[in-house]
Structure 1
């Protein structure tokens, strides 16, 4: 039996597009299917077990189809139930998922760039006359398909003008100004190819030198200088805010929450705009770190304790009070994305064939992030997976399955 210490006793996943749901209860909470009753209310779901009644608050327009809860084949020490939902697609969401900075930048408006770690302003009062997307990460591989002559873009860099902001998938290219000397530091680092075991270490030669850019206040890396007057800043390391009212933002979100929201927003935006669902999270050296497969972005999840009124995730509610047992306040079902993932570095021996296949497939979209941030994302995914029911932990060669990035889209 697996370790249940981190797993919710009651786990609920609802799919708005499929109008269906899955309810999972641990067998140490409920002994038989007959002990469970699931009913619906006004944008709410009520789950009754021998230990009490839990209430899950649903978004407006989402409700349970009464009498649709059915037993489903369980797995190991779990009991599963399938549900059907009624979803009013015409009902507008009161709270839309936050988009990435790529979706919010506007022309002729003033913005300030902050270090996400320490909140220091690193770029002051930037007004962009042009905000343009860069070609996607695989554009070099496609040049031969639409050019009948040698690659005209070989060895050329796409760099911004003074009042430009060029947007990559995970970074922004902006011009450097005199104020950067007061807020940023640069460090040159040589990047070396890994040689085979048969080759001597003495034969290794640097491929190129990168000028890493860091916050002067906290020394956290923000990106790199790709040209003498051009900065490449990763959207996972900086926050961009309108200059007007910038003082209203006292603090940035928790680092983990900020990273979840940023990565989730970009995956959803790229899948919606370019029909891309498979991604390779890579370091700046081009080394694959994590393979990601976006399954869906319409999930609502809730994880609860079997003790009434105690939420494991979502909104925290008051402790159990016997007198209020029939009229509980509940936890909200939060929006989430669902992905399969495979850590490349940990899978070198067991799943190298999968990694190599993805690396050769041009439909897999590369996403570049700093090495330290790639490691942070992996830790977030691993932690998210550990909180899921054991039956949702793995599938085929993908060790952790369906890590639900809870609250990533709320």
Structure 2
């Protein structure tokens, strides 16, 4: 096991609804229970070991019951496990994703998330409507006694409409390509003319035509019809024209992807009571099976994720001899990569299960997500990294 796959010295998982949690101290922090001293306050936990010490900052309204920190158990390969009791008066609100935040009769600017370049100028949507569930065709077949009247028909936005999918929005392009966007076919047999901004492709739409940011060449979506764009919520940001562009959407790429997908699966599970997801590339191939376990977790880890986005320590000015960490709101998930032939029976079963919700994303974003999940798994104590055939991971949740 290399350094990039070593567990955190300090790991705390707290369940706010259950008002319980566990603290794991690796042998690098302390090898014997007698070496550990834990003190708690209204919004902090201070842990002292033989080799190191740290402060844990908890959200307002969350505290650890001191007597629960006394019983310790040694687990082979992990270190010391300590069960905790939690007092929680904190009601967390998840920040809405783009799908939940778009409203009619409001003005928006669309920008590339990677480079912040504005790709669609000020737009005011007269209607913002949700698309049917991804399995709606199958439901029509099950419930209707006559042939499906919607077979082979696309639901497309009219002018000044915005249609909301699970991981994308459909917008009417109207007047033609914007200068900040490029239409690029996936195959080389179609030439895109830079002089006309790709209007030839708009006249002859192809499902394989991708929408590319002219500035950074990131894939933002696809062309659905001659005047309709599909833009993925992991690739674009939307803001009001009056917002200060210097103070918005400044999250780094990895943290943005992590936040958006975590918040989105919470939204979908809340509205549709589904907890299993198939993350699919825009090529239709399944890349990750994702199972949401809970969304009420606070996590503290002294190991920085591979992206540097989550669980990153910050120096405590008041205690120079201590390291300081902040608890993060996260979702706990099980996941199974589909990129190999392993567990083909599970993948096939999920693909046939109507209760599994598909989340289409660009292929590169599926790969980014898999790296983030793998990095989270590698930071966990060894005994907590797997559950049955699935791997365990935590994703940071953007919240108020």
TM above 0.5:
yes
User: Where does residue 402 of structure 1 map in the other structure?
Assistant: 392
1:232 aligned to which of 230, 254, 257: 230
User: Where does residue 79 of structure 1 map in the other structure?
Assistant: 80
Contact 1:337 1:409 in 2 (8 A): no
Contact 2:350 2:356 in 1 (8 A): yes
Q: Does 1:342 align with 2:339?
A: no
Deviation of 1:3 (Å): 4.3
Deviation of 1:77 (Å): 4.1
Q: Does 1:369 align with 2:361?
A: yes
Contact 2:13 2:298 in 1 (8 A): yes
Contact 2:104 2:127 in 1 (8 A): yes
Aligned length: 375
168-177 vs 216-225, which moves further: 216-225
Give the 3 Å change call, closer, same or farther, for CA 251–102 of structure 1 in structure 2.
closer
2:209 aligned to which of 208, 211, 214: 211
1:154 aligned to which of 151, 175, 179: 151
Report the Cα distance in structure 1 between the residues aligned to 2:399 and 2:375, rounded to whole angstroms.
17
Contact 2:107 2:123 in 1 (8 A): yes
User: Where does residue 173 of structure 2 map in the other structure?
Assistant: 176
- The equivalences for 1:257-406 within 5 A come to 257-304=255-302, 313-318=311-316, 330-346=324-340, 348=341, 350-398=342-390, 401-406=391-396
Deviation of 1:133 (Å): 0.7
User: Where does residue 57 of structure 2 map in the other structure?
Assistant: 57
Deviation of 1:73 (Å): 5.7
Report the Cα distance in structure 2 between the residues aligned to 1:32 and 1:146, rounded to whole angstroms.
63
Contact 2:13 2:21 in 1 (8 A): yes
- The equivalences for 1:34-53 within 5 A come to 34-53=34-53
153-162 vs 181-190, which moves further: 181-190
Give the 3 Å change call, closer, same or farther, for CA 77–258 of structure 1 in structure 2.
closer
TM-score (norm 1): 0.85
The Cα offsets for residues 64-99 of structure 1, whole Å up to 9 and x where unpaired, read as 1221132246242422111111112xx455xx4322
280-289 vs 65-74, which moves further: 65-74
The Cα offsets for residues 150-182 of structure 1, whole Å up to 9 and x where unpaired, read as 111101000001111000000000000336242
Deviation of 1:276 (Å): 1.3
RMSD of aligned residue pairs (Cα, Å): 2.3
Deviation of 1:220 (Å): 1.4
The Cα offsets for residues 11-56 of structure 1, whole Å up to 9 and x where unpaired, read as 1111101111111111243222232233321121222222354221
Report the Cα distance in structure 1 between the residues aligned to 2:2 and 2:216, rounded to whole angstroms.
38
Report the Cα distance in structure 1 between the residues aligned to 2:28 and 2:325, rounded to whole angstroms.
22
SS at structure 1 position matched to 2:103: coil
SS at structure 2 position matched to 1:76: coil
- The equivalences for 1:95-106 within 5 A come to 96-106=93-103
Give the 3 Å change call, closer, same or farther, for CA 118–179 of structure 1 in structure 2.
farther
Contact 2:126 2:160 in 1 (8 A): yes
SS at structure 2 position matched to 1:97: coil
User: Where does residue 27 of structure 2 map in the other structure?
Assistant: 27
Report the Cα distance in structure 2 between the residues aligned to 1:224 and 1:133, rounded to whole angstroms.
19
Deviation of 1:319 (Å): 7.9
TM-score (norm 2): 0.87
Deviation of 1:402 (Å): 2.1
Q: Which runs of 5+ in 1 are unaligned?
A: 192-207, 306-311
1:166 aligned to which of 163, 168, 183: 163
Report the Cα distance in structure 2 between the residues aligned to 1:188 and 1:104, rounded to whole angstroms.
31
Give the 3 Å change call, closer, same or farther, for CA 353–109 of structure 1 in structure 2.
same
